Amino acid sequence: MTGSGDAWVYGPDGRKFWGRFGAAGLLVHDQARGILLQHRALWSHHGGTWGLPGGARHRQESAVEAALREASEEAGVPPEAVDVRFETVLDLGFWSYTTVVAVATASFDPVISDPESLDLQWVPADMVDSLPLHPGFADAWPALRSRLGR
C-alpha cells in the first residue's frame, strides 16, 4: 500500500518513532470499567509496557480515522460504540502522535485480534499509573486524566 505509514521515523537525536505520517492512539474511557489499555507485545517498541491501542497513520488519514482503525484492528473496538470527545497532539516537528479520547457509549469486550498485544484490560483510572506504562503514554497520562471528567 503506497499510502501506508508503516515505517520508522528517526529524530535528530537518533530516537525512533513509528509512523511515516505520524501515529495516533485511542483512549477509551468507560465510566463503569475504566480505561482500555493494551499490554504491548515484547517484540514491539517499548514492548512489555501498557499503552493505548494505536499505530501509524496512513497518507491522508486523519488522526481520528487512524485511531479508530487501529483500535478496531488491535483491540476489536467497535467504532460505533465510542464517542470521540477530544484530541491531544504531541508534535515534535518531524513526527507527531495524536491521542484521540473517546467515551464508550455501549459496552463491549476488547478482543486481541493481532500479535501486537499480550493483553487488553479495562483499568480503573486511578490504577493506570501503577502499571509499567509506555514512556510516551506515561508522560501524557496526568494531563489526559485531568481532562477525562470534564
pLDDT tens digits for the chain (150 residues)? 468 999 999 999 999 999 999 999 999 999 999 999 999 988 888 889 999 999 999 999 999 999 999 999 999 999 999 999 999 999 999 999 999 999 999 999 999 988 889 999 999 999 999 999 999 999 999 999 999 976
CATH number of domain containing 118? 3.90.79.10
67 in helix, strand or coil?
helix
Based on the structure, what is the number of domains in the chain?
1
The range of the structural domain enclosing residue 134 comes to 8-148
Q: Is residue 93 part of a domain?
A: yes
Q: Is residue 3 part of a domain?
A: no
Q: Among residues 20, 26, 15, 16, which one has the least CA distance to residue 5?
A: 20
Q: Is residue 2 part of a domain?
A: no
Q: Is residue 85 part of a domain?
A: yes
Round to whole Å and give the CA distance between 92 and 103: 27
Q: Is residue 69 part of a domain?
A: yes
